[in-house]
Amino acid sequence: MLPAQPNQSLIDGLACLQELASHGKPIGGRAMARALGLEPTRVNRLLRTLAHLGLAEQDERRKYRPGPAIHVLAAQSLLGSGLLRRAAPELERLRRHGLVVALGVLWRDQVAYLYHASPDTPAGGAIGRVGLFPANQSGLGVALLAGWKNPQIATLYPDAAERRTLMSAVRAARQRGYALVRRDDSATIGVRLAGATDAAIGLAGALPARRVAGLAEALAEAAARITAPEAEAL
């Protein structure tokens, strides 16, 4: 919920930082201004401030890219939350099923994957492997949205047809205790982690109907271990 007196400079600065981190290649101030719908002079001022803080840097063409402080911030946030540290052993155990294993968090209408491993992904290669993905098309995303109230979901999806399709999946996820999203010849099962963190784990691949219940149970058990009080002490 937006506070009564939001700090617009902070909001715009964080929007620039997120665009910088997710763009995938260096970006100029004018291009970022167009992407964010902001005034170019303001964006350039914010980018110079981020560069001063080490959160951005300029290349030889004077375009901006993430600076070293972003990596420090990422490392500190992962350490501070402890989520990935607690989840990693359970995620590795889930790989025995021979499917894609994922851990993601909800960011607005997107799922950001902290861990995403296909069956042939080498150890250590699952972190930071996949970026953002639309939440309404993701088993993890639907599992997370199922924990929201309907009016909150409506603010993210103003299109009535898109919202109807999503709400059908959300209602099913609430009833079953897990989300199931099928796309073409594959499917994803998503289970939300209990607690305040908007995070979920999931399994994806060619899933015949007979395997779904057992895999959903395995995910629920893993989720319970990740959020158990004793896991907090790890």
pLDDT in tens, 166-203: 999 999 999 999 999 998 889 999 999 987 668 999 99
Write out the DSSP string of 83-139.
HHHHHHHHHHHHGGGSSEEEEEEEETTEEEEEEEE-TTPPTT-SBT---EEEGGG-H
Is the CB of residue 173 less than 8 Å from the CB of residue 143?
yes
Q: Which of 46, 71, 96 is the last residue in one of the domains?
A: 71
The count of structural domains within the chain is 2
Last residue of a domain, one of 50, 71, 92: 71
* Residue 133 within a domain: yes
Query: Is the residue at 3 inside a domain?
Result: no
Domain termination site, one of 71, 92, 123: 71
Domain residues for the domain of 58 are: 8-71
Model confidence pTM above 0.85? no
Question: Does residue 117 lie within any of the structural domains?
Answer: yes
Is residue 164 situated within a structural domain? Answer: yes
| pLDDT tens for each residue of 198-227 | 899 999 999 999 999 999 999 999 999 999
Q: How far apart are CA 202 and CA 180, in angstroms?
A: 10
CATH code of residue 166: 3.30.450.40
